[in-house]
Amino acid sequence: MVVACGKYQSEPGPKGNPALSARKYYGCDMINLYQKNIMNYYLEAFKRYIDFKGRSSRSEYWYFFLFNSVIIFLLSFFDGLFGMYNTEMNFGLLSGLYQLAALLPGLGVAVRRLHDTGHSAWFLLIILIPLVGPIVFIILMATASSNEKNNYGPVPKKLVVVRKS
């Protein structure tokens, strides 16, 4: 939905570009508040680290997962390189500290992602079921969002807002 200076515009405009349409027909500039680059999805999880309410999109969860995995891999590499990796405990100092810091943001984004699919946060416990649990959890995380408001809030898709120029 495009909000153009307080009016709703249903057509995307010339060549599918709602910004051109809004500027041409309403004399407004378009601001897409939720259009993010890839890094913003990762940072958003840290900004909302204790927010277990609301919903998170698939891209927010999976980009957080991707960045988190890459950072842990790199920090584990540096742990081994600088001799900070304990082979007995299978634990590195840098990667361990980062994993501790990323625990709450990871739980928060997973809970919000479950909310986006219409499930309770208690579905996180499904991971504890051997073999089947992690597979079901990955399927839940990859499931498309419901396209309407649910008990946990509005759809976390891109919302385009336009203001007067």
pLDDT in tens, 22-68: 444 444 444 444 456 788 888 988 999 888 999 998 999 999 999 99
Residue 145 DSSP class: P
**44, 92: one domain:** yes
**Structural domain span for residue 6:** 2-32
**73, 16: one domain:** no
89 assigned to some structural domain: yes
Report whether pLDDT(79) > 90. Answer: yes
Closest CA to 101 of 77, 75, 79, 123: 75
Report the C-alpha gap between 33 and 147 in whole angstroms. 19
Whole-angstrom Cα Rg for the chain:
20
pLDDT of residue 89: 83
Number of other residues whose CB lies within 10 A of the CB of residue 114: 25
pLDDT in tens, 96-152: 999 999 999 999 999 999 999 989 999 999 999 999 999 999 999 999 887 888 888
pLDDT of residue 149: 87
What is the count of structural domains for the chain? 2
CA angle 92, 97, 103 (to 5 degrees): 120
Side by side, which strands form the sheet with 160-164? 7-9, 2-4, 160-164, 28-32
**47, 25: one domain:** no
pLDDT of residue 11: 46
Number of other residues whose CB lies within 10 A of the CB of residue 156: 20
Cα 56 from chain centroid (whole Å): 5
155 assigned to some structural domain: no
**28, 79: one domain:** no
pLDDT of residue 158: 53
Amino acid at 146: S
Give the chain's end-to-end CA distance (angstroms, integer).
19
pLDDT of residue 40: 86
Q: Let me know how long the chain is.
A: 165
pLDDT of residue 36: 61
Amino acid at 140: L
pLDDT of residue 35: 53
